[in-house]
Amino acid sequence: MTPVPLPSPPLRDLALSRQHLDRNGVDRAPASRLAALWASPDTRVLQVHAGRAPVVDTPDGVRLVLRTPAEVPAPGPDDLQLYLGVDDGVHHVAVISTEAEPESTDGAAGGEEWRGLREVGEQLPARDAGLFTEALAMGNWHAVTRFSPRTGQPLTATTSGWVKAEPDGREHFPRTDAAVIMAIISPDDRLLLGHQPIWPPNRYSVLAGFVEPGECFEDTVRREAFEEAGIVVGSEPDDVRYLGSQPWPFPASLMVGFAARATTTDIRVDGDEIALARWFSREELAAELASGGVLPPPGVSIARRLIEAWYGGPLPVEDRPWA
């Protein structure tokens, strides 16, 4: 039997993966770097409050509101100041706060709104999506990396926000959790979608899982497919095919996307991470989308793009916020 064809890489123009900002890592180290940037009227500042940033709808689409240092309130003692990088000669920094956004800001009368990355990430241009993604991921890391795992002493942000240092100088660097996410395809070309217990009714997506220590991506795909749904993925090299990756700062993941050939079709969900799972033909999925029996993942996610890569184009459904 001829193996079912898998979607071919790459997935192009993935939201949050299109960034072209130069992070300029060699320029982060000087202790005076952030102070110098705050003193320059040419610097642009991104404000992030409780995971939300100011955006405005322009004739060219949704854009981040980036201000000069003079237009931004002085950072509070608990706010994170972070150097984001340089784009076309303009340096960008972020001020990240766990507090809710201000009730009003300069420019609010011009249509400014505070929105989360899930809401606007797909609409933002590449630079803006990159700035927001970088700031959100680093803010999440700082929020949970407050004390030394060795001594319990408080850590101090250094290197323009990119390092947390202990009193004796030992350094801690940002972490990213690698996770696979995969479109599992049956021998008769159906797609496996699952429903997590914490999701609202009818929400379905492709399977995913974190990479364990000492494990390659392909083995993670096979292990997670079997653990979550009892599905065996083929052992041949081309039975697991890389399609693309997407940073997913909720809170600190890198989603590595694959298509995979299943050699079995009997579903046995684990009941923990996956409560329900189903095989769908393209006709069945289109019918369920039309009736509301299936709510797909949001357009900003690589999960949606993996489904569409198998489906053969955009899903025939209006996008809805993830809830």
CA distance 190 to 12: 23
pLDDT at 132: 97
Instruction: Give the count of beta carbons closer than 10 Å to the beta carbon of residue 3.
Output: 13
pLDDT at 323: 54
pLDDT at 110: 65
- Closest by alpha carbon to 48, among 165, 140, 123? 140
Q: Kindly tell me if the per-residue pLDDT of 104 is higher than 60.
A: no
pLDDT at 1: 67
Tens digit of each residue's pLDDT (9 = 90 or more) over 165-212 = 999 999 999 999 999 999 999 999 999 999 999 999 999 999 999 999
Q: What is the pTM of this model?
A: 0.93
CA distance 45 to 82: 10
Alpha-carbon dihedral 46, 51, 55, 60, rounded to 10 degrees: 90
- Closest by alpha carbon to 319, among 309, 268, 306, 301? 301
Half-sphere exposure of 162 (CA within 13 A, CB side): 18
Q: Rank 10-24, 92-106, 136-150 by mean pLDDT and report only the highest.
A: 136-150
Cα 40 → chain centroid: 31
- Closest by alpha carbon to 138, among 166, 170, 175? 175
Q: How does DSSP assign 146-185, residue by residue?
A: -B-TTT-PBPEEEGGGTEEE-TTS-EE----EEEEEEEEE
Tens digit of each residue's pLDDT (9 = 90 or more) over 136-153 = 999 999 999 999 999 999
- What tokens were used for 78? 């608990």
Instruction: Give the count of beta carbons closer than 10 Å to the beta carbon of residue 134.
Output: 22
Q: Kindly tell me if the per-residue pLDDT of 307 is higher than 90.
A: yes
Amino acid type, 308: E
Q: Considering the chain, what is the average pLDDT of its residues? A: 94
Average pLDDT estimate for 274-283:
98
Q: Kindly tell me if the per-residue pLDDT of 268 is higher than 90.
A: yes
Distances (CA, A) of 319 to 176, 251, 307: 28, 23, 14
Instruction: Give the count of beta carbons closer than 10 Å to the beta carbon of residue 63.
Output: 17
pLDDT at 217: 98
**258 phi, psi to nearest 5 deg:** -140, 160
Average pLDDT estimate for 58-71:
96
Average pLDDT estimate for 48-73:
96
- What tokens were used for 233? 């993925």
Angle CA(247)–CA(255)–CA(228) in degrees, nearest 5? 150
Average pLDDT estimate for 295-299:
95
pLDDT at 107: 46
Q: Kindly tell me if the per-residue pLDDT of 11 is higher than 80.
A: yes
pLDDT at 175: 93
3-state helix, strand, coil in the chain (%, to 5): 25, 30, 45
- Show Cβ contacts of residue 162 under 8 Å, excluding neighbours closer than 6 positions: 25, 28, 82, 83, 138, 173, 174
Higher confidence at residue 18 or residue 208?
A: 208
Whether 297 contacts 303, CB under 8 Å: yes
